[in-house]
Structure 1
Amino acid sequence: MKRFMLAAPFFVASPALAHHPLAGLPMETFSHGIRSGIGHPVLGFDHLFFVVAMGIMAHLSGHRFKAPLFYIAAMLAGCSAAYAGLNLPLQEAMIALSLIVLGGLIARNRTGGRGAVLMAFAGFGLFHGAAFGASIAAQEGGAGAAVLIGYLTGLGVVQYLIAVGAGLAARQASTLQTQLAGAMVAGVGVFLCLEQIEGPLIALMSAG
């Protein structure tokens, strides 16, 4: 838990890395898909913080290993839909909201019912997956089946491992440490919200 909190400034300061798991090179092989699928959620601090929070919440709800599977399934579905051209609206706003909601609940040491937790994981998973899918759909010339399978495999495996790892870390952490981690995640969500409204606010002020 302490290592995650100490590493947070690095990820917050480096959001651009999320779009370059292969240093900007196009994905052309199964291996490229795997590497990009692993790198995207790890280097994308918004996705990484959510997955960590999800793992902590899964631990608090008593379903450390099962609950993240609902997110993984929905995330893969959202990614596949986006790749097929069915993009969800307000993706960035919902991703920011996912951090605020889960982070806020953890900071308050609340989990809600198991059903609510699973629904939240699945609902937010669709939007995170849609963002992942948009990145591969935007690749010039498209991506072949091998690339897509590798990408989805990498996405699913790495995020599940991160979530389970975060849950195991939370098991060893004190309640205060867990709450601080939740507050940090919620703070990142607020930062993302402010970043999204910054442009329109500046434009409105300039027009005035």
Structure 2
Amino acid sequence: MKKLLTFAGASLAATPALAHHPLGGMPMETFAHGLLSGVGHPVLGFDHLFFVALVGIAAVYTGHRRSAPAAYIAAMLLGCLAMSFGFGLPAKEAMIAVSLLALGGIVLSGRALTLTPALLIFAGFGLFHGSAFGDSIAGQEAAMGAPVLLGYLIGLGAVQYAIALGAGWCVERLLGATEAQAMNARLAGAVVAGVGLFLTLETIEGPLLAAAFGI
């Protein structure tokens, strides 16, 4: 438990340091630029980072630790690609908050997902995470070209897949959580669900205040 809490605390403390993008605000112009941006993007926001890490943890208990996270990666890249061409999903930020709350709650419950529900959950929320990532691509110059987009998608997919596999390995091997009911696995779910709850409340705070007080 102490190891997990220390890890979670370090992750939160590291967030400001991770906010330094590899390109330092430079425009993306080449394949290498796109690749570096894709590698750096998932660790810039703890919401994306925590979700993909929990995908890897939940996948361990499906019995498909390598293939199950691929559903998230594929859907995330599809959402990103669609957004880069102007086809974005609505309420992305709200759905990302809900994704943390939902998957965090499942892992917190100690229930192991079977493969089909896991794939549906990972892929469904992956579309929204990818659409949010795609905002960065959509905001770049129209002439950035296919090499930049290709590099971005390769870097984005590769680093998130590595994060998912690494998180699953750490929780199972380093923390000894070999079953979904293990306390360390459930604590990981609690941390992510807590972040999801905070973000969800933050998202609905504005509309609720506006409805109640006309602000």
The answer, yes or no, to whether TM exceeds 0.5 is: yes
Report the Cα offset of residue 143 of structure 1.
Answer: 2.5
Contact 2:58 2:113 in 1 (8 A): no
Contact 1:107 1:183 in 2 (8 A): yes
Per the normalisation by structure 2, the TM-score is 0.88
Instruction: Give aligned-pair identity as a percent.
Output: 55
Structure 1 residue 176 corresponds to structure 2 residue 183: yes
Structure 1's 30 and 5: CA in aligned 2 closer, same or farther, altered over 3 A? same
Task: Tell me the alpha carbon deviations over residues 138-184 of structure 1, each in whole angstroms, 9 at most, x when there is no partner.
Answer: 12445311110110001100000000001111212241111111100
Contact 2:74 2:123 in 1 (8 A): yes
Instruction: Give the Cα–Cα distance (whole angstroms) in 2 for the partners of residues 22 and 205 of structure 1.
Output: 43
Report the Cα offset of residue 22 of structure 1.
Answer: 2.3
Per the normalisation by structure 1, the TM-score is 0.90
Q: CA RMSD in A?
A: 2.1
| Match in the other structure for 2:7 | 4
Would you say how many aligned residue pairs link Structure 1 and Structure 2?
206
| Match in the other structure for 2:40 | 39
Task: Tell me the alpha carbon deviations over residues 8-30 of structure 1, each in whole angstroms, 9 at most, x when there is no partner.
Answer: 3225x649938x45222211111
Structure 1 residue 190 corresponds to structure 2 residue 193: no
Contact 2:35 2:152 in 1 (8 A): yes
Structure 1's 204 and 22: CA in aligned 2 closer, same or farther, altered over 3 A? farther
Amino acid in the other structure paired with 1:57: A
Amino acid in the other structure paired with 1:190: L
| Match in the other structure for 1:162 | 163
Instruction: Give the Cα–Cα distance (whole angstroms) in 2 for the partners of residues 142 and 61 of structure 1.
Output: 43
| Match in the other structure for 2:55 | 54
Unaligned ranges ≥5, structure 1: none
Structure 1's 181 and 72: CA in aligned 2 closer, same or farther, altered over 3 A? same
